[in-house]
């Protein structure tokens, strides 16, 4: 292995929410931008997402949530990550998330939230700047 390792990302859908258009578009846009992307598929539990993230040794986790369960699911994932690993994995997300919920999510450790209308370039640019390959 030589040169800088590609940034690896996990794009995930947690809970019962089946709206996967956004998650798939973002996953594909990130892949087209040169990242290694793993998409979890639907109906994952927070435990499953964290297990996959560790197994796949990712640098960032992007979660798409449109069901209104963001205030439950993000903190749970962050807690599980903190318990199981060094907290270097960058967690970000997007979906239908009201502005007034964002400050609390950020305080809990979610690094960025993209709301409806964000472009794929916005997400790609943000990931390029904010998700470095972790030291191994």
Partner 1 sequence: MKPKNGGRTSTVTTRTRRDWEENTLGHALGKKPERKKEFTTVSNLPIERLYALEDLKGWDPAGKLGFPGEPPFTRGVHPTMYRGRLWTMRQFAGFGTAEDTNKRFHYLLEHGQTGLSVAFDLPTLMGRDSDDPLAEGEVGREGVAIDTLADMEVLFKGIPLDKVSTSMTINAPAAVVLAMYLAVAEKQGVPLEKLEGTVQNDILKEYIAQKEWIYPPVPSLRIITDMVAFCAERVPKWNTISISGYHIREAGSTAAQELAFTLADGIGYVQSCVDAGLDVDVFAPRFSFFFNSHNDFFEEVAKLRAARRVWCALMRDRFHAKSPRSWMLRTHVQTAGCSLTAQQPINNVVRVTLQALAAVLGGTQSLHTNALDETLALPTENSARIALRTQQIIAEESGVVNTVDPLAGSYFVEALTDRLELMAWDYIHRIDQMGGIVPAIEQGFPQREIAEAAYLYQRQVDAGEKIVVGVNRYSEGDNMKAPTLKIGAEVEPGQVARLETVRQRREKDRHAKVLKRLEHTARTKENLMPAILDAVRAYASVGEICDTLKTVFGAYREGRVQL
* 72 forms part of the interface with partner 1 (CB under 8 A): yes
Quick one: which of 28, 79, 111, 128 contacts partner 1 (CB under 8 A)?
Answer: 28
For the chain, strand residue ranges (E) read 8-12, 36-39, 60-65, 90-95, 112-114
Coil, helix or strand for 12?
strand
* 15 forms part of the interface with partner 1 (CB under 8 A): yes
| Residues paired with 91 in a beta bridge | 61
Number of residues that make up the chain: 136
Quick one: which of 5, 6, 34, 41 contacts partner 1 (CB under 8 A)?
Answer: 41
- Residues of this chain that bind partner 1 (CB under 8 A): 15-21, 24-25, 27-29, 31, 37, 39, 41-43, 45, 67-69, 71-73, 96, 98, 115-117, 119-121
């Amino acid at each position: 292995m030589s040169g800088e390792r590609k940034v690896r990302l996990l794009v995930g859908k947690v809970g019962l929410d089946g709206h996967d258009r956004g998650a798939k578009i973002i996953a594909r846009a990130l892949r087209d931008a040169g990242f290694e992307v793993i998409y979890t598929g639907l109906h994952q539990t927070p435990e499953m997402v964290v297990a996959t993230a560790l197994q796949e040794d990712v640098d960032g986790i992007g979660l798409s949530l449109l069901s209104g369960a963001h205030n439950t699911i993000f903190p749970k994932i962050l807690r599980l990550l903190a318990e199981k690993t060094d907290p270097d994995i960058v967690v970000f997300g997007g979906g239908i998330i009201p502005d007034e919920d964002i400050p609390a999510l950020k305080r809990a450790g979610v690094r960025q939230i993209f709301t409806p209308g964000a472009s794929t370039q916005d997400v790609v640019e943000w990931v390029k700047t904010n998700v470095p390959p972790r030291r191994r």
